[in-house]
Structure 1
Amino acid sequence: MSVWQRVAKPTTRRGKRVLLKREPQVVEGPKRALFFQGRKCSEKVRALLKDLHDFKKPDGVKLNRKHDITVFENAKPVEDVCRKYEAPLFMLGSHSKKRPDNLVIGRMFNYNLLDMIELYVESFTGLKEFAESITLGTKPCLVFNGPLWEQTDELKQLKSLFIDFFHRETVENIRLQGLEHTLSFNATPDGKILLRSYKIILKKSGVKTPRVELDEIGPRVDFTLRRSKLPDEDLMKEACRKPKELRVIKKQNISTDELGNTHGRVHMGKQNIKTIQTRKMKGLKKTAAERKAEKLKILKVVNNNEAVAENGDR
């Protein structure tokens, strides 16, 4: 059975720009995230979705109406919604007797489900409970505390999901005063994930480097891991494939040290130093007086050698 799919062709310049923007880019910008509710949602999870959406602005879309979706049983409705709003990331809040205060974080690859993790919202304190706030669209500094993030596959994928959710534009350099917001993720041995949000305050310290203080601004959330759907190895490899333009070609005999200095090694063939002509500049040539003195010196040596030879014959 063959499936025929119509390929949209632009008829206007504006339509061409829209289609070019939808195509895969060499350097991807911030990923768009979709926040929505399931068939039932508790007030706690609804407030958490709103606060996380505020952090994701302007790269987030929040849907107010509820959706009859159970993503672990059937992922097709979620894929359709994400394709409709062009969002490769999604966050679904739900509530049931079996799984109360439930939050599902997932992402798409080519609008097909790649992976997702289900979390239980154990405790939550919203932004309204804190006095401080941050500027809209601020790029956060992500901190993952504890060695557990690299010990299990579920935590590795959850760390990757959090990075994708809160990652913004890729920058080469950053100004110290530009660090205004930090998100701290702490994985505890009892299976909890603690999310804390702080505002970075730079104060005078008497030296060039300022004194850094952290002021908690919320939200404050305690998660517990539930179900998870990890990606297939081949699909994850395809999703992480880099384009040819970004692949680093290793150059031979060139290395970089820890300080960022570049060192090169040059290979040269064997040289006969005795036959190298070094006096090629006019300023380095011998003068007439020097040539005359050199000739006299040679004649004197020759005369001394002849005199020694005559004395030996006698």
Structure 2
Amino acid sequence: MDVVKPKNQRSKRALEKRAPKLIENPKTAMFVRGGHISQIVTDVMTDLCKLKRPNAVLYRKKNATRPFEDPTTIEFFSQKSDASLFMYGSHNKKRPHNIVFGRMFDHHLLDMIELGVEQYKPMSSFTSIKSSVGIKPCLIFSGDSFETEPNYAKLKNLLIDFFHGSDVERVDLSSLETVITFTVSDGKIFMRVYHIALKKSGTRTPRVELEEMGPSLDLVLRRTHIASSELFKLATRRPKALKPKKEKNISKDPFGSKLARIHMTRQDMKQLKTRRVKGLKRKRDTAQEEGEGTESSPKRQN
């Protein structure tokens, strides 16, 4: 295939922006509506788009596509909007109020999971304070199924990737405003979103309260499309420049203290220089030195 070169500086900057980087940009999520969609699914996608902003692209027009049968349309939208995450909403008699979470690798489908919406409360029905745009949420997963069952474990990994946001080195505690909880119970997934309110407590430490701000979703797991182990390993491979350098003979104990092992050559104790103290000398060496001293001393003359 011929490589198309940019014709001007604008197209050159656009290609450089989409080129692979050592530290990638925050992942963008696109919200795509299917050919048949209910008002509930439309409101769900609108509320989740607000939680994902500013890294979100909302397609308002309907698109008659089926990701599980033919993902080419989703892949085209992914390349067009430079998005590696997507959410697809649809509604039909067989699968009512249907949403699909998925992600891409190199603008090709990696994996996706289909969920059904059974109960929904929009964000507008809650009177609590809404969080700011672009805030990293705290994610809490409750339930043994997220650790023991493969489909729920993959769903947990996908949701963490979806709501992850940008990478930061430090987090200001005062900027933690949102908590998203996912609870598995009786085959259902309960998603709740809370706003963290810091109130006066009479001490230096404020009192923390959670106020539900919506949306509230009761979901059920439906179809899944899981990537193969080889493809997933290729998608999660880190560049060599970002891998930490191995330090030989250095380890850490359970308390986080750094321990090191030092290798030294074998010392010759005979050449070890010490302080010459008479009490440290051996008796034979002392007697020999005294004998040598008497032989070398001059004889007295009468």
Calculate the TM-score normalised by the size of structure 2: 0.86
Q: Distance in 2 between matches of 1:40 and 1:214?
A: 36
For the pair 1:94 / 2:86, whether they are aligned, the reply is no
One-letter amino acid of the counterpart of residue 271, structure 1: Q
What is the DSSP-based 3-state SS (H/G/I as helix, E as strand, rest coil) of the residue aligned with 1:8? coil
Q: Distance in 2 between matches of 1:208 and 1:267?
A: 50
For the pair 1:74 / 2:67, whether they are aligned, the reply is no
- The residue aligned with 2:281 is none
Q: Which moved more, 1:259-268 or 1:116-125?
A: 259-268
For the pair 1:154 / 2:151, whether they are aligned, the reply is yes
Q: Distance in 1 between matches of 2:69 and 2:7?
A: 40
- The residue aligned with 1:135 is 132
The partner residue of 1:219 within 215, 220, 223 is 215
Unaligned runs of 5+ in 1: 280-285, 287-297, 307-314
Deviations 1:28-53 (A, max 9, x none): 22111111211111111100000000
Q: Distance in 1 between matches of 2:7 and 2:64?
A: 37
- The residue aligned with 1:283 is none
What is the DSSP-based 3-state SS (H/G/I as helix, E as strand, rest coil) of the residue aligned with 2:170? coil
- The residue aligned with 2:298 is none
Deviations 1:120-170 (A, max 9, x none): 001111110111211111111111112211212211221121111111121
Q: Distance in 1 between matches of 2:9 and 2:274?
A: 66
What is the DSSP-based 3-state SS (H/G/I as helix, E as strand, rest coil) of the residue aligned with 1:50? helix
Which residues of 2 match residues 167-206 of structure 1 at below 5 A? 167-188=164-185, 190-205=186-201
Which residues of 2 match residues 24-35 of structure 1 at below 5 A? 24-35=20-31
CA distance change for structure 1 residues 206 and 278 in 2, over 3 Å: closer, same or farther?
farther
What is the DSSP-based 3-state SS (H/G/I as helix, E as strand, rest coil) of the residue aligned with 1:40? coil
Q: Is residue 144–residue 186 contact of structure 1 (8 Å, CA) maintained in 2?
A: yes
Offset of residue 72 of structure 1: 1.4
- The residue aligned with 2:119 is 123
Q: Is residue 29–residue 168 contact of structure 1 (8 Å, CA) maintained in 2?
A: no
Offset of residue 185 of structure 1: 0.9
Q: Distance in 2 between matches of 1:141 and 1:278?
A: 63
- The residue aligned with 2:17 is 21
- The residue aligned with 1:113 is 109
Which residues of 2 match residues 155-304 of structure 1 at below 5 A? 155-188=152-185, 190-205=186-201, 209-273=205-269, 275-277=271-273, 302=290
Q: Distance in 1 between matches of 2:23 and 2:253?
A: 27
Q: Which moved more, 1:202-211 or 1:161-170?
A: 202-211
Offset of residue 278 of structure 1: 6.7
What is the DSSP-based 3-state SS (H/G/I as helix, E as strand, rest coil) of the residue aligned with 1:162? helix
Q: Distance in 1 between matches of 2:91 and 2:16?
A: 40
Offset of residue 73 of structure 1: 1.6
What is the DSSP-based 3-state SS (H/G/I as helix, E as strand, rest coil) of the residue aligned with 1:29? coil
Offset of residue 96 of structure 1: 0.5
- The residue aligned with 2:279 is none
Question: What is the alpha-carbon root mean square deviation over aligned residues?
Answer: 2.4
